[in-house]
Amino acid sequence: MDLPTYAIEAKGLIKTYKATKTTPAKTALNGVDLQIPRGSIFGLLGPNGAGKSTFINILAGLVRKTSGTVRIWDRDIDERPRDARACIGVVAQEIAADVFFTPRESMEVQAGMYGVPKAERHTLEILNALGLGDKADAYVRQLSGGMKRRLMVAKAMVHNPPILILDEPTAGVDVELRRQLWRYVVGLNQLGVTIVLTTHYLEEAQELCDTIAIVNRGEVVACEPTAQLLRRLDTRTVVITPTAPLSEVPALGRYAGVIRPGGELAVTFKTGESGVEAVLAAVREAGVAIKDLATEDPDLEDVFMSLTYSAGEEADPTRA
C-alpha cells in the first residue's frame, strides 16, 4: 500500500458544544481545513480556547465532531475509527499515570491494550531513549514531574505509530530534559514519524517545525511553512546603541521608537516603505550619535500576536 501524502487531513471540521443549564452553546471548531504532510514536524498553535485541544481530542476519539471529515493515515475516522486511532500516539497535557505501577509495568500494560505481541515490544529500548532506563522498576509515584511527562511520551510510542501528537510536552520540564526530549522526538521524525506539536514555547515551534498552523477562535488563520510564515510581517527593527544612553525617544519624523533597558533606541519600520539607511538618517538628524547598531527580524511571537490579537486588544501572556 502506498504511503499517504498527508498524515492527517481535516475538511470542513466543525465541533459545536450544546448549551447546558449553566453554559451557552459554543462552536469550538468552525470549518477547519488542515493538511498535515507525512513526515513533517507540524506546529499547531493558538491562544487558550482556540480549539487546539478539541481538534486533538477528535483525532484521539475522545470527542465527537459535529460535521466535516477527518482522515488519519488515509483512514476515515468514521468508517475505520479503530484503525485510525491505532495510527496515532497522543501525549496529553495532563500527566496521567498509575502511581502504583513501575514505568516498565505501565509500558507493558499500554502495549497489551494496543495488542502488541510480547515478542514485538521494545519497552526498555524506549525507556532508555527517554532517559528512564534506570527508573524502569521504580514506582511511578517516585518519579519527578518531568520524568512522568517523558513516561507519557514513551507510552504513546509502544505501538510504533506513524504519527505522534505532543500536546504541550515540555510544560514543567527543565531545560536539559527538554533538550533530551527534543533530541528523541527529532530522531523519531528522522525515522519517518510525523510529529504534531502544540506548545506555549513559540521559540521551540520556530526552531523545530517545518510547517505551522495558527488557530484562533476555532478557525485556521494561517497554515504555512515556517519560513514563509515569518515573512508575513513586513517589518524590521533597528536597535541603536548611542554614545550616551538615552532617557527619552527623540523626534524621528515618521518613525516611532522605544527606549530599551540600557538606553538603547529601537526603531521598527516597514521594509516595503523604508530602509535601514533612512532610519539612521532620521536618528542622526535628531542629534543622536551612534556607537553601534543591530537589526532584528520578526520572530514567530510577533507573527502569532499579529494574527491572534485584534488592534487594541490587550495581550494575555498566558495565552499561547
Tell me, what amino acid is at 181?
A: L
Backbone angles phi, psi at 126, to 5 degrees: -70, -45
Cα 4 to Cα 158: distance, rounded to the nearest angstrom: 22
Cα 318 to Cα 219: distance, rounded to the nearest angstrom: 20
Closest CA to 299 of 241, 221, 239, 232: 232
Helix axes 103-113, 145-156, angle to 10 degrees: 30
Tell me, what amino acid is at 76?
A: D
**What does the block give as the cell for 149?**
511527562
For every one of its 320 residues, what pLDDT tens digit does the chain have, with 9 covering 90 and above?
A: 688 999 999 999 999 999 988 989 999 999 999 999 999 999 999 998 899 999 999 999 999 999 999 999 999 999 999 999 999 999 988 777 788 899 999 999 999 999 999 999 999 999 998 889 999 999 988 888 888 888 999 999 999 999 999 998 877 677 877 888 888 889 999 999 999 999 888 988 999 999 999 999 999 999 999 999 988 888 889 999 999 999 999 999 999 899 999 999 999 998 888 999 999 999 999 999 999 999 988 889 888 988 887 533 444 433 33
- Contacts for 107-110: CB closer than 8 Å, 24+ residues apart: 107/154, 107/155, 107/158, 110/155, 110/158
Cα 113 to Cα 158: distance, rounded to the nearest angstrom: 10
Q: What is the dihedral of CA 186, 187, 192, 194, to 10 degrees?
A: -30
Cβ atoms of residues 249 and 258 within 8 Å:
yes
Closest CA to 148 of 116, 177, 119, 121: 177
Cα distances (Å, whole numbers) of residue 20 to 16, 44, 66:
12, 29, 17
**What does the block give as the cell for 89?**
500516539
Q: What domains does the chain contain, in order, with CATH numbers?
A: 6-87+161-230 (3.40.50.300), 235-297 (3.30.70)
Query: Beta partners for 292?
Result: 241
* Confidence (pTM): 0.81
**What does the block give as the cell for 16?**
459545536
